[in-house]
Amino acid sequence: MLADIYDAFFGPGVRLSPPYLLAFVVMALAIFVVRERSFRPRQFLAWLFPAAIWRHPSLRVDVQLYVLNRMLSLSGALGAVTVQTVVAVAVAVGLGRLTGTPMAAGAWSGWSGVVVTVAILIASDFVVYWVHRAHHELPVLWPFHAVHHSAEVMTPITVYRKHPVYDLIEAQVRALVMGAVIGALLVAVTDRIDVITLGGTHAAYFLFHLLGSNFRHSHVWISYGPVLEHLLISPAQHQIHHSRAVRHHNRNYGEVLAIWDWMFGTLYVPRGREEFEIGLAESDGTPIPQPHPTFARALMQPLRDSRAALRRRRAVASRP
């Protein structure tokens, strides 16, 4: 039981896992030394852990939502493993009947593991992009994602500043899409998707987190440059996604790959370091006062706002 609790809060799939946090500090130290051309421990700690950020009330809500969502994850309340399995089997059987080949019988055996791993990674990132974008563009869903964007400071914990409804929707959509993808792969590529194959997917995400995913929710600016930022979302690009500035609104929805933003017209590539405030804002950039100052408000206000948005939508639809 203790091992399950540890995995839920600090396991390999959680960005607050000790290896990822250690990598975050080591990479920050390297950046600091290169920029300052010296190393003074107190100056470094003040730069990486400024009191104005780590003592901010916004961070308190981040921590409380992190604990809640990790507990829900531990209980399985947000899981969708069964849905994914059922969809995968249904798709595999359906495609097998249509094509007359129930399983791929190990086709492409030499490359099947690589093909499956890459396909799952691409499909997963594609789902994240569209779920994220839908929560920005649909008024009924936006209140649940607004909790994340109402963060007034960002630390690695801020990635878990999410309303449970957002995580629930993402888990179910991901399960449906990934189930369909896995079912198709079982027919077209391989007759099985084993632990070793899935291990390749987990290893890719392990590297993603180890190589700096925690900088995405931080005050440390890291840009990959204009060429690479058309392919991969840099920490700087995600920080821009949290900006109140009009030029940054509804940009950079991607998690790992920038190709979806590039493909669908939502990519923003900075030409250099930019200064901006983070938080909620109107379409003209006017700051919106903090709607989630407490844990209770962060949970309840989105429910009220989403219900109001649904009523407005129904009212418009009922007009003659």
Are the C-beta atoms of 80 and 172 separated by less than 8 Å? yes
pLDDT in tens, the chain (320 residues): 788 899 999 998 899 999 999 999 999 999 999 988 888 999 999 999 999 999 999 999 999 999 999 999 888 766 666 677 777 777 777 777 776 665 554 444 556 667 778 888 999 999 999 999 999 999 999 999 999 999 999 999 999 999 999 999 999 998 899 888 877 877 776 655 554 455 556 788 888 888 899 999 999 999 999 999 999 999 999 999 999 999 999 999 999 999 999 999 999 999 999 999 999 999 999 999 999 999 999 999 999 999 999 999 998 888 77
Closest CA to 10 of 106, 90, 74: 74
CA pair distance 164, 155, nearest whole angstrom: 19
Amino acid letter, 304: R
Nearest CA to 297 among 58, 132, 77?
A: 58
Identify whether the C-beta of residue 233 lies closer than 8 Å to the C-beta of residue 248. no
d(CA 91, CA 310): 33
- 198: its two tokens: 């899935």
Helices (H), the chain: 2-10, 18-36, 41-48, 51-54, 57-75, 81-99, 112-137, 142-149, 164-188, 195-210, 235-241, 259-264, 295-317
Cα distance between residue 123 and residue 179, in whole Å: 10
- Distance between CA 12 and CA 92 in Å, rounded? 30
User: Which residues on adjacent β-strands are paired with residue 278?
Assistant: 243
Question: Tokens representing 273?
Answer: 């370091």
What gap in Å lies between CA 141 and CA 128, rounded to an integer?
A: 15
